[in-house]
Amino acid sequence: MRTCYLQLPVEYSVRNTDPESVATAMDQLLKTALSTPGIMSDYGPVQIGEFTVLPDESAVRHELIALLRAARAYVDTEDACASNEHQEAVKLQEEIDGVLQAHDTQYPHRCQDCGDQFRDDQVVPLDQVKNLLERVSPGEPMPSGECPECGALCQPIKVK
């Protein structure tokens, strides 16, 4: 027997459920369907496992960027006294800054609540945000949209 992994996209609302619950429901659904006599008989013996939630692209990216920001703060150019070490540290900082800037340019909207960042095509545009003016306190900078994940307001990121 060989093993393959099938993938399927699922759209859901964070207000109603989470990926693990959907996977559990899908397992039940599949179990019921597969109990139909002869339903897979055209395919020979087939063993079907359980639904697995794949790592979320945005969660992985979020963690990597957080790690990179932490590393950026850790690279100490002052402390590296030997001149070649100092040069290496400066170079490393510049490389990290380049990656972070490219990321912020591509994902310029940061959620004020969950902290994730979004592209222009992902963020809920301002003209579709409900009760926008009531949700912005006086003196607070104007948001750039609404978080598609948690529904909080997003602030624009100024790329240096």
- Residue closest to 149 by CA, chosen among 113, 103, 120, 125: 113
Indicate the length of the chain as a whole number: 160
* Identity at 48, one-letter amino acid code: I
Find the shortest distance in angstroms from Cβ 63 to Zn ion.
15
- Among positions 150, 155, 156, 157, the unique one binding Zn ion when judged by CB under 5 A: 150
Query: Under rule CB under 5 A, how many of the chain's residues touch Zn ion?
Result: 7
Rounded to whole angstroms, how far apart are CA atoms 160 and 116? Answer: 19
**Which residue lies nearer to Zn ion by CB, 26 or 148?**
148
**Which residue lies nearer to Zn ion by CB, 92 or 132?**
132
Residue 112: count of CB within 10 angstroms of its CB: 13
**Which residue lies nearer to Zn ion by CB, 12 or 98?**
12
Q: Decide: 53 and 20 in contact? Cβ < 8 Å.
A: yes
- Residue closest to 153 by CA, chosen among 109, 108, 88, 102: 109
CA angle 156, 107, 18 (to 5 degrees): 105
**Which residue lies nearer to Zn ion by CB, 23 or 114?**
114
Rounded to whole angstroms, how far apart are CA atoms 114 and 72? Answer: 22
Find the shortest distance in angstroms from Cβ 101 to Zn ion.
22
Q: What is the footprint of Zn ion within residues 88-147 (CB under 5 A)?
A: 111, 113-114, 147
Find the shortest distance in angstroms from Cβ 146 to Zn ion.
9
Find the shortest distance in angstroms from Cβ 104 to Zn ion.
16
Find the shortest distance in angstroms from Cβ 17 to Zn ion.
17
**Which residue lies nearer to Zn ion by CB, 51 or 147?**
147
Residues near Zn ion (CB under 5 A) are 111, 113-114, 147, 149-150, 152
